[in-house]
Amino acid sequence: MQAYSQQQLNSLIKRQIALIALVVPALIVISTGCTTQTSSNNNLQPTPSIQASVEKVPATLAIAIIAQASNDTDQQEQIRTLTEYLNKTLKQPVSIQAVKDYKRTVDLLVEEKVQIALLGPLSYIEAKRRNPQIEAIAAPITKSTGRPWYKSAIITNSASGIKTLNDLKGKRLGFTSKLSTSGYMFPVVHLLDIGFKFNSDFASVQFFKNHKNSLAALLDGQVDAVGIEFDIYKQAKKAGKINDYYRVMWESEPIPQSPIVVSQKLSPQLIAELKEAFISAPIGMLNLDGIPSNGYTLVQDSDYDRVRQVKKQLDEKLAKTK
């Protein structure tokens, strides 16, 4: 697979210098849209353009994120901290809900039941396909890389007799969700690239809804190998939760980080304020996916073109194996 270019990755960081310009365009849009008309009694009346803008500011901003695991106290604390920060920064109420699966999170944003969501790259591509009126605005800078990207990995239990990827034939595989970028799409494309038939070469294929559940399933012996976000494995290894029986058999190219996605039906001013809020947040405050970050950087739709390319490869390869 063609690697996500270093030039593209560096361009994401450079966008931070454009932060000061975020508010100006929004103010221009608002000032040009805020024309008035005089009624017969000389009272100033807002034009429909003002009324439309007002309707785009909900009383409470609703945000959806993927739940990392059941009763994840660290994530619950992150949600509480983010809620307080956005309430104060945006000067309006914010409600954040942790959703148990990828599809439900996408559905909530696409069906306009929330205005903001933290989506994985593949989930974002799917949401954008279903509802073009959404926009990726920011993504975390991974602490381990200093860049807004991360990697996928295939982790195996060597006690299952797995010494190379070829030994996965006839074994039990675990993944996160079919809407997971690192927990499904990238590892599956690689396995298809090296000749596996996804529908017939494995004893079973199971899905565990999030990366931590997938890793737990491997450690519990429910599966022989998993495809997960690499940093999830490294965190568990550092914490002493994984012994040397569990090995990294493959790691992916860099993948663009999970974006904060907003509805374009929000006012331009509010979208600009949201961008500034995420870019300006204290480092470490917004580790919503459970992985330490060095703050956030601006992103745009084209940053996820590589994800679209790999998704196309996945669809084509799976179609050939049917």
CATH number of domain containing 261: 3.40.190.10
Asked if residue 191 and residue 204 are part of one domain, the reply reads: yes
Same-domain pairing of 193 and 287: no
Query: Cα-flanking dihedrals φ and ψ of residue 121, to 5°?
Result: -55, -45
Residues 46 and 98 in one domain: yes
Which whole number is the average pLDDT over 20-33?
A: 42
Q: Cβ atoms within 10 A of the Cβ of 271, count?
A: 21
Identify the pLDDT of residue 286: 66
Same structural domain for residues 140 and 157? Answer: no
- The pLDDT mean for the chain works out to 84
Same-domain status, 121 and 167:
no
* Among 48-57, 153-162, 185-194, the least confident range: 48-57
Question: What is the predicted pLDDT for the residue at 16?
Answer: 46
- Measured CA to CA, the distance from residue 219 to residue 257 in angstroms comes to 26
**pLDDT at residue 130 greater than cutoff 90:** yes
Instruction: Determine the pLDDT at residue 288.
Output: 66
Task: Report the Cα–Cα distance between both ends of the chain, in Å, rounded.
Answer: 22
Q: Are 204 and 172 in contact (CB under 8 A)?
A: yes
Give me the helix-helix angle, 230-238 and 211-219, nearest 10°: 60
* CA distance linking residue 322 with residue 110, whole number of Å: 30
Total structural domains in the chain? 2
Same domain, 89 and 157: no
Co-location of 99 and 24 in the same domain: yes
Q: Please report whether residue 182 resides in a domain.
A: yes
Same domain, 97 and 216: no
Pair (14, 159) in one structural domain: no
Rounded distance, CA 270 to CA 135, Å? 13
In a domain? residue 171: yes
Asked if residue 181 lies in contact with residue 191, where contact means CB atoms within 8 angstroms, the answer is no
Residue 102 has pLDDT above 80, yes or no: yes
Amino acid letter, 51: Q
pLDDT band at 143 (very low <50, low <70, confident <90, very high): confident
Query: Please, where are the H alpha helices in 58-117?
Result: 73-90, 102-110
Same domain, 175 and 139: no
Helix (H, G, I), strand (E, B) or coil at 28: helix
pLDDT of residue 78: 83
Query: What's the pLDDT at 70?
Result: 55
- List CB contacts of 230: < 8 A, sequence separation 6 or more: 150, 151, 152, 153, 182, 248, 251, 252
Residue type, 272: A
What pLDDT, on a 0 to 100 scale, did the predictor assign at position 18?
46
Instruction: Determine the pLDDT at residue 35.
Output: 38
The percentage of the chain sitting over the pLDDT mark of 70, rounded to a whole number, equals: 79
Does residue 22 have a pLDDT over 60? no
Cβ count within 10 A of residue 110: 19
Give residues with Cβ within 8 angstroms of 25, minimum separation 6: 268, 272
Q: Are residues 188 and 316 in contact, defined by beta-carbon separation less than 8 angstroms?
A: no
- E strands, 39-179, where? 44-46, 61-66, 94-99, 116-118, 134-142, 149-150, 152-157, 172-175
Does residue 315 belong to any structural domain of this protein? no
Percent of the chain with pLDDT over 90: 66
CA geometry: angle 208, 210, 212, nearest 5 deg: 95
Give yes or no: residues 88 and 167 share one domain: no
- 41 has pLDDT over 90: no
What is the three-class DSSP state of 152? strand
Q: pLDDT tens, 228-266?
A: 999 999 999 999 999 989 999 999 999 999 999 999 999
Q: How far is CA 227 from CA 80, 153, 173, 217, in A?
A: 30, 6, 8, 11
Q: Are residues 38 and 128 in the same domain?
A: yes
pLDDT for res 293 = 82
When mean pLDDT is compared across 77-86, 261-270, 286-295, the lowest value belongs to: 286-295
d(Cα 72, Cα 159) in Å, to the nearest integer? 29
Q: Which domain holds residue 293?
A: 6-146+257-304
Whole-prediction pTM: 0.81
Show the tokens assigned to 228: 């997960």
What pLDDT, on the 0 to 100 scale, is given for residue 3?
52
